[in-house]
Amino acid sequence: MSPILGKVWTNGVASSEIDSREEGLPGARYSIVCDDLTRLNHSCGPNTHKYSHMPSFSVHLRAMRGIKKDEEITAASCDPDASYATRRAHLARLGIRYTCPACVKPATSDVRHDRIRTIFGGYGTSGSETKNFKLPKSTSVEAVVDGLNLVEAEGLQGTAAYSLGLYLMMLAYSANRDMTNAQMRARRYCTWRLAIDGTDMDEVAEELVQAVERIQKS
């Protein structure tokens, strides 16, 4: 691998807003490489999420949870949803050492990942909940709370499982006419969408209002 290609491979931030398939390159995407931002150390449970922002041709970095003073800022260089074996193989190709907590204790991490997939199986892509609205099968929040606790324990707040958990909790509380808790989860969900891809919070709020109205009419 050439030095330039190696830098793009390990440090590039893929831009989903530019689809190079239109230029005859099937499945390929453009990447943005920054001098400093894309050199953040890797973690399978990162405390930030980065995404491309084409209007300003820049990369935005957002905190996905509270970051303590002097805590290292990290970002994922692989799919944090994947199993330890899959993550390790990908990181090995990039020459990245796997020393984050999820990789140090893979047995514990994989059990949590399996449980998260069981609870939130088939959740699809991040932020797709409001576009593919379905009434929840249950108005109980216990299983969802368990799932969110596991997601937070693994540091997976940047994944689709976390957004779906917040969304399902909002719907469940709405169905039970507990609007205080429903609104709290709705605010967290709006903040999550802003952090994950810059989606305008007012736009997301309107989607949530429509979802709540539908569930309360059911």
> Quick one: pLDDT band at residue 7, thresholds 50, 70, 90?
low
Structure tokens, 73 = 């800022």
Output the CA–CA distances (angstroms, integers) from residue 42 to 65, 70, 100, 161, 209, in the order listed. 16, 17, 8, 20, 37
The mean pLDDT value of the chain amounts to 78
More confident residue, 159 or 5: 159
pLDDT beyond 90 at 70: yes
pLDDT in tens, 117-160: 888 874 444 445 545 445 455 556 787 888 899 999 999 999 88
Q: How large is the average pLDDT for residues 101-126?
A: 80
The whole-angstrom separation of Cα 150 and Cα 55 is 36
All structural domains of the chain: 1-104 (2.170.270.10), 105-217 (no CATH)
Structure tokens, 79 = 């799919």
Output the CA–CA distances (angstroms, integers) from residue 95 to 65, 89, 103, 118, 128, in the order listed. 27, 10, 15, 32, 33
What pLDDT shows up at residue 149?
93
